[in-house]
Structure 1
Amino acid sequence: MPSPTIDGRVFLETGRKLVDRLLDKHLPAESTEPKSLHEALRYSVMAGGKRLRPLLAMAACEYCGGDTGGDDKPIHRAMIALEMVHTYSLVHDDLPCMDDDDLRRGQPTCHKKFGEAIAVLAGDALHDIAFELMASTGRTEPVVELAQAIGTQGMLGGQIADIEAEGRDVDEAEIVEIHRRKTGALIRCAVRVGAILADAPPALLARITRFGEKVGLAFQVIDDLLDIEGDQKLLGKKVGSDSKNLKATYPGVVGKARARQVAVRLIDDAKAALENEDDNMLRQIAEYIGQRQS
């Protein structure tokens, strides 16, 4: 698989900087009461990360002819709403009652730093701020998309299925469904929101949706592999936590070799949904996902 072009790397790097600026702008200041809650919000959100979901939304908007210039358009508010929802899910996922992880983005997890109660409330607050921002786009469709992506048929449903699959045998169809909901739903939502805010016609929205579904599943298959083979320093989190928690994973179900093949095929399918056009950032991000080490 070819490496992303220089333009692709520039897009990812400048895009992350834009997302960080937008997050800093829209998050409550630590000096604002309740200070402990706002400190926990900023600690979790501003710790870095790939910023993949907002970048996918922006790339999808551009691909569909939308205007992403500046930093105060509806797409920009949607982008940081997506990142806040993603971070809220990580804060809650790391809790002792879930995955009980100590390290996230290279630093102690939110509950390790601030305690479980504040971590729960920080996640709740990020969820609420995200919906306020998504509603501020002035369109109802992105709000509905986000609600569906994180609801019982999306991320939350995937989390339940993930928990209930711990320690038991699952088949490939079941692990696909778990990953489709837990991780894939929000990635699918990101590209759809970007396309919707660009007023993409139905046929183009369908192509973007297929791209999001394929790349979202590929992301999690690769994540499963990195939990076995990855470098903790690059990942910013402990490796081996899936096996420790008896999690159902793609390589655990079909083996590492087959999981790698599936990831490659999914990335190829995602690019094919774009009709194999070479010069677009969605394709570059797909290739980045396919070769990522963190």
Structure 2
Amino acid sequence: MTTASTSLYGLASARDLFALTKPRVMTLVIFTALCGMLAAPGSIHPVIGFTAILAISLGAGASAALNQWYEADIDAIMKRTSQRPLPAGRMDAETALHFGIGLSVFSVVLMGVAVNWFSAVFLAFSIFFYAVVYTIWLKRSTPQNIVIGGAAGAFPPAIGWAAVTGDVTLMPVLLFAIIFFWTPPHFWALALFMNSDYSKAGIPMMPVVAGRESTRKQIFGYSLILAAIAIAPYPLGFTGAIYGTSAILLSVVFSALSLQVMMSQTSEPKDMAAEKRLFKFSILYLFALFAALVADRLVLA
């Protein structure tokens, strides 16, 4: 093997290891964790703050790697995931497992040594929850997989908050709850137009088990709960008018799009415009809501 080909192989391996961390999902994790940190009372040294975000990012990447290690068989069946490193045959399972475990340990130790051990334990639990509770236990066993498993993606802002304060109060609990109740409508909107993939892979997503009509009703129900929780920090006095106004407007749009999904009758993925609109807006919703939280905190500071 030539030096050039060895170099190319090394680059490909590095890209595949990076792909294991689900970088697009990690973007949301980093953003919400940073917002939780910036919204927390008090201050944190920029270097320690950067280290905390790095540790949270690495922990999220570790969770994703362990998830892909365990789900390689079903990833190979689904069109959306078939080109990931493991099902595509670009990496062996042992490498993915060792990478995920090593990254998990490093992220937790880094958080504990550089920031505080309360947030480190919090981070360790979030990795365990995603890799074991959600991936191994819930994903293939219950249509409530996304509902309960949504907690895994809801931890970052609370961990960011804990990195600054060393504790958790009602406000970070509300931030956790926002993502927790946002997750079902976000993923079920995706599951509605990816229903055949989930069915083929034997994953009991809500549309597969309960049907489209029931799922659409639940999406709308969760959107109303989400709206109430997202707006709550304002009347409770935790935020100012910037966040309050943004939360109301964004939640009204989210609920309106969820209502359109509930009223939809189509069963053809290509015709599911309402579901696709909700899925795309749900991502914007979370980014905009947490950005408003930080903007509000900077104005009030």
Same fold? TM cut 0.5? yes
Query: CA 1:110–1:55 in structure 2 vs 1: closer, same or farther (change >3 Å)?
Result: same
- What does 1:1-294 align with in structure 2 at a 5 Å threshold? 38=14, 40-45=16-21, 48-49=24-25, 51-65=27-41, 67=43, 73=49, 74-96=51-73, 99-100=75-76, 108-111=83-86, 112=88, 113-151=90-128, 155-159=131-135, 160-165=137-142, 175=144, 178-182=145-149, 184-199=150-165, 205-229=169-193, 240-251=196-207, 252-253=209-210, 255-275=214-234, 277=239, 278-280=241-243, 287=250, 291-293=278-280
Which deviates more from structure 2 when the two are superposed, residues 185-194 or residues 244-253? 244-253
1:95 deviates by 0.9
Matched residue pairs, number? 237
Normalized per residue, the structure richer in helix is 2
1:66 deviates by 5.3
Spell out, residue by residue over 1:4-50, the C-alpha distance to the aligned partner (whole angstroms, 9 max, x if none).
xxxxxxxxxxxxxxxxxxxxxxxxxx98xx98865532243475446
RMSD (CA atoms): 3.8
Query: CA 1:123–1:108 in structure 2 vs 1: closer, same or farther (change >3 Å)?
Result: farther
State the TM-score, normalizing by the size of structure 2: 0.62
Ranges in structure 1 where 5+ consecutive residues have no aligned partner: 1-29, 231-238
Query: CA 1:137–1:147 in structure 2 vs 1: closer, same or farther (change >3 Å)?
Result: same
1:89 deviates by 4.1
Q: What secondary structure does 2:62 align onto?
A: helix
Q: What secondary structure does 1:65 align onto?
A: coil
Separation in 2 of the partners of 1:129 and 1:208? 25
Q: Decide whether the 8 Å contact of 1:45 with 1:87 is kept in 2.
A: yes
Spell out, residue by residue over 1:226-246, the C-alpha distance to the aligned partner (whole angstroms, 9 max, x if none).
12226xxxxxxxx64222223
Q: Decide whether the 8 Å contact of 1:64 with 1:195 is kept in 2.
A: yes
Spell out, residue by residue over 1:86-138, the C-alpha distance to the aligned partner (whole angstroms, 9 max, x if none).
43244225411x55456668x82121222333333333333233324323433
Q: Decide whether the 8 Å contact of 1:58 with 1:194 is kept in 2.
A: yes
1:219 deviates by 1.7
> Looking at both structures, which has the greater relative contact order when contacts are Cα pairs under 8 Å and sequence separation is at least 6?
1
Q: Decide whether the 8 Å contact of 1:94 with 1:102 is kept in 2.
A: no
Q: Decide whether the 8 Å contact of 2:112 with 2:118 is kept in 1.
A: no
